[in-house]
Amino acid sequence: MTTFPLLKFTDLQFAYPSAGQAVMEHFNLEIDEGTVTAILGPNGAGKTTLLYLALGWLKPKQGQIWLGERPLSSYTRREMGQRMGLVPQIEHISFEFSLLEYVLLGRAPYLPPLALPGELDCQVASDALRRVGLSALAGRSVLSLSGGERQLVLVARALAQQPRLLLLDEPTSHLDLSNKHRLIQLLRELAAQGVTVVLTTHEPDVASALATHLVFMQKGRVLQAGRLEQVFTTEGLTRLYQQPIEVVDVAGRRVAIWS
């Protein structure tokens, strides 16, 4: 039986129209189903661009992106919304949605045009709020939330899509320590339930606490990729960030120490 990576980038080339040169060139990467992959790299490495290509928001100049056994370009927007969810770094919200109303937007890929959410949709959205710890605030305005709470609402909206593949762009950047721990535990639970998770992060220790696989990106290319224990090393992180970093074991987990 032939198996396929859940997400695959083959000989990809991409450039923004305003850029004088390619942001990615001959880019190749495979994400296996059921893994948690953390993408690390300095600013400008192409991490967010990679997520937007995976979502079909950006189109490669050359190469192919596969979702399962099909080219990404063969999916409708509705099909994509039922398979992939995104948690962006930040989202500007202009309307007075309650938390529940906002999370219900994640049910759109399952609803006919102009249809209102039903009882099942409300149950799914309520459960998503419970999982991120915001059930008690379901009736409050999204605009009244702190930055960290807004980040968790974005996670809940993505969960309401019930995706096979969850993409997160710097998901812990606005979270305090308690909520960061809550999110890491939630992503572990999702992975145990078969959801494939891909996240970008500037925090090596978040990656080591969560990921099964790592991708190091630099200047639009894969510098190194593989299982956490193979890639999360003193040599690998020092090469990636171009400054001395030591990896030590603390309480059974690898931790990066900046020299």
E strands, the chain, in order: 7-14, 24-31, 36-40, 62-67, 70-71, 84-87, 165-169, 196-201, 213-218, 221-227, 245-250, 253-258
Cross-strand pairs, 167: 86, 198
Domain ranges of the chain: 7-91+163-258
Question: What pLDDT was estimated at residue 25?
Answer: 87
DSSP three-state, residue 125: helix
Q: What is the pLDDT of residues 58-87, one digit of tens each?
A: 999 999 999 999 999 999 999 999 999 999
Give mean pLDDT, residues 139-145. 90
CA 155 to chain centre: 10
Name the CATH superfamily, with its identifier, for domain 7-91+163-258: P-loop containing nucleotide triphosphate hydrolases (3.40.50.300)
> If pLDDT is split at 50, 70 and 90, which confidence band does 104 have?
very high
Global pTM reads 0.92
Per the structure block, which two tokens stand in for 113? 């045009």
DSSP three-state, residue 168: strand
Q: What is the pLDDT of residues 210-234, one digit of tens each?
A: 999 999 999 999 999 999 999 999 9
- What type of residue sits at position 121? D
- What type of residue sits at position 152? L
